[in-house]
Structure 1
């Protein structure tokens, strides 16, 4: 399964905010640390804020902070929120320029893929954001955006 860039970025932003060292980085700083466009990071931060996982304050002294809900959030829940609950394949042909699959009446592939998707999420559900920043990841996250010594 391949994750959307926004899902990957959301998880990386949550991980980065989990290990901040007493500061509240701005969205622009986080985008720079993650080497992604600011506009993309801003959209992801807005969604994380809407989900209650991140607090974003504007202006002087502002920045991003992880909420307690964000720290204990299920990785599976975050992935579901960004990826959506839809099927892995579009058998009905609802996408732009897509046509319905001629096998949809008797195909078993869709069910097998749905089952695999559920297993994927089930494996991620017990993992929290805090769990994925233990060493060696946490210390590595603290070096992002810093010039080499």
Structure 2
């Protein structure tokens, strides 16, 4: 899997904050310097991680960045799915999607495509294993 630079920077920020002491507050500028990434890119990633509830960003004197409890419990896969969701991609009318991958990925991608207006009949997938959607009562239409 190839990650976007944005997701890479975001994951590196989460990992750096995960090893920080609980009382240690790091600024976005400090994290950008440690990771050798442009400040603007780090600031954008911090803003998105904050929107997702993974990072708490406090401004002003005594402020800084910390992982939230949700951020400490989050899986790498969950963070990647949240950052690379189809919600950030404009889906053209009449789009047809072809998916192949692990079932959790395909379930999430299918749900996002349908929420974005793609008809369920236009979402095609190749599953290596049992058809777990039918077992869970989710029909394909």
TM-score interval, smaller chain: 0.5 to 0.7
Q: How many residues align?
A: 102
3-state SS of 1:2 partner: coil
2:45 is aligned to: 44
Q: Any residues of structure 2 matched to 1:11-30 within 5 Å, and which? A: 11-21=11-21, 22-30=23-31
Q: Any residues of structure 2 matched to 1:1-149 within 5 Å, and which? A: 1-21=1-21, 22-85=23-86, 111=98, 114-116=99-101, 118=102, 121=105
3-state SS of 1:43 partner: helix
5+ residue gaps, structure 2, are 107-141
Shift, 1:60, TM fit: 1.0
CA distance in 2, matches of 1:49, 1:5: 18
> Which is richer in strand?
2
Runs of 4+ in 1 over 2 A off after TM superposition: 118-122
3-state SS of 1:20 partner: coil
Higher RCO (CA 8 Å, separation ≥ 6 residues): 1
When normalised by structure 2's length, the TM-score is 0.63
3-state SS of 1:36 partner: coil
Deviations 1:21-75 (A, max 9, x none): 3310000000001100101100110010011110001111110010000000121
Shift, 1:84, TM fit: 1.3
1:135 is aligned to: none
> Alignment RMSD, CA only?
2.6
Shift, 1:85, TM fit: 3.5
5+ residue gaps, structure 1, are 87-91, 95-103, 105-109, 123-149
- Alpha-carbon spacing, 1:36–1:119, altered in 2? closer, same or farther (3 Å): farther
CA distance in 2, matches of 1:9, 1:60: 25
2:109 is aligned to: none
When normalised by structure 1's length, the TM-score is 0.60
